[in-house]
Amino acid sequence: MKKHGKERLIEKKVFITGGASGIGRAICTLFAQEGAQVFIADIDTNGGLETTRLITKRDGVANFQKTDVSNPQSVLESIQAANDKMGGIDILVNDAAAFVFGTVEQTSPEDWERVFGVNVLGTVHTVKEALPYLRDSLSPAIVNIASVSSFIAQPAFIPYNTSKGALLQLTRCLAMDLADDGIRVNCVCPGSIYTPATERHIAFEKANKEDFLREAGEGSFLKRVGKPEEVAYAALFLASEEASFITGTQLVVDGGATV
């Protein structure tokens, strides 16, 4: 792939969930640009193939397999396929998410099962199945895409925020348990980032796009929403050997919104 950066992930083998869209796609393209081979696991086949095309047309290496991260068998098959394609896994990025909002009274048990099934158990499944390969890596790292919603309250966001809080705690506990294996585990906590998920939220709220984005950005010091690439660079740092003494932490990328 045409190189612009320092090739910070040269020859690294990356398994990433949620790479078909938004922040996950930005992580895939940046990591490939930095020399990584990327295996994309996402439930969205069209989006996953498009991310693959974006990378391979610039001479990068990417593969896609349709995967439902909430299904342990689907995750097992994708991890095995990734190992078959790449000959190992050095870096695991958990980006896939279900966006389930509402108050306690507005949400059903199925809503809670879905949001925890993807946002929390999805990460548990990928970590469990990737562990044998990560243990064989010389510089293994896990990067979870959590959220500022992991540690702040927002109105009528209970299922999503509770799941992202659990993902932050999962990150810390994994960092402790996997330290003896040399596996670093960290998370990125984005604030408001403009992605297809934002577009769906604007449509759901029947909001005016410009007004929505201005209001979403106003709460930050930098007075704007973020770009997927700005989250991808944080994930790149945590995944790279530049972060070799960093584990169990969260890197907030929110323009100062939660300071």
Ligand X SMILES: NC(=O)c1ccc[n+]([C@@H]2O[C@H](COP(=O)([O-])OP(=O)(O)OC[C@H]3O[C@@H](n4cnc5c(N)ncnc54)[C@H](O)[C@@H]3O)[C@@H](O)[C@H]2O)c1
Q: Report the residue number, 76 or 197, with the smaller CB distance to ligand X.
A: 197
Name the residue nearer to ligand X (CB basis): 35 or 47. Answer: 47
Q: Which CB atom, from 88 or from 196, has the smaller least distance to ligand X?
A: 196
Give the three-state DSSP class for 155. coil
Beta carbon nearer to ligand X, 49 or 197: 197
CB of 19 to ligand X, least distance (A): 7
- Specify the amino acid at residue 108: S
CB of 108 to ligand X, least distance (A): 18
Q: Which of 153, 46, 154, 159 is nearest to 101 (CA)?
A: 159
255: left (phi over 0), alpha (psi -120 to 50) or beta: left
Instruction: Note if 160 is an active site residue.
Output: yes
Q: Write down the catalytic residue from 133, 160, 194, 233.
A: 160
* Shortest distance in whole angstroms from residue 148 CB to ligand X: 6
CB of 3 to ligand X, least distance (A): 25
Applying CB under 6 A, the residues found at the interface with ligand X are 17-18, 20-24, 42-44, 47, 67-70, 95-98, 118, 145, 147, 190, 192-193, 195-198
Coil, strand or helix at 162: helix
Q: What are the phi and psi torsion angles at 56 (to 5°)?
A: -70, -30
CA distances from 125 to 12, 74, 84, 97, 228 (A): 21, 10, 19, 14, 25
In the bound complex, which residue of the shown chain has the CB atom lying closest to ligand X? 22
**Tokens 């540690």 belong to residue:** 151
CA angle 70/193/125 to nearest 5° reads 15
Q: Closer CB to ligand X, residue 89 or residue 118? A: 118
CA 111 to chain centre: 21
Q: How far is the CB of 9 from ligand X (least distance, A)?
A: 20
Bridge-based pairing state of the strands 91-94 and 61-66: unpaired
Q: Sort 163 into a burial class: Cβ within 10 Å, 0-12 / 13-18 / 19+.
A: buried
Active site (catalytic) residues: 160
